[in-house]
Amino acid sequence: MTLVRWDPLREIERWDPFPEMGALQRQMNRLFEQLLPTDGGERVGLTFIPAAEIAETDGDLKLKIEIPGVDAKDLNVEVAPESVSISGERKSETTTEEGGMTRSEFRYGKFKRVIALPAVVDNERVGAEYKDGILRLTIPKAESERQKAVKVRLG
């Protein structure tokens, strides 16, 4: 083995990590594709979780839940005084034939999402609309919640 004498005046070489990071990312992608097997184009173990938005007004809560590709008949919506539960099944429309699909990033299967509500609601008077893959719920607040806000005088 040959020792190289250290010279403090010699220019330090800069290391560029980006090419190595790209190679590492490709290796990690291959590893995850092997660890998460597919079954007919569907990822096993990964479930579809719908995204949600909540808007609160003085009188009610408005929920928007994004559920593309799910028929209304495959949805079950339950509203409790403090939460909303959405469950259903997103079914694959693609049939794999010889020479067919080689990769799918869509997630299919049964799902369930429980959303905690920021206020107690009157779950007897829920309005619902399902259009273009968006479920819209209008849920009135319980009468006790509407009267919670009290203006406090200062001074």
> Where do the domains of the chain lie?
16-45, 47-92+107-146
Cα–Cα distance, 112 to 108 (Å, whole number): 12
H helices present in the chain, as ranges: 18-35, 143-146
- Low-confidence residues in the chain, pLDDT < 70: 8-15, 33-47, 94-102, 145-151, 155
Cα R_g (the chain), whole angstroms: 27
**pLDDT for residue 147:** 61
Task: Count other Cβ atoms within 10 Å, centred on residue 87.
Answer: 14
The architecture CATH gives domain 47-92+107-146: Sandwich (2.60)
* Cut 0.95: pTM above it: no
CB burial of residue 129 (10 Å; 0-12, 13-18, 19+): exposed
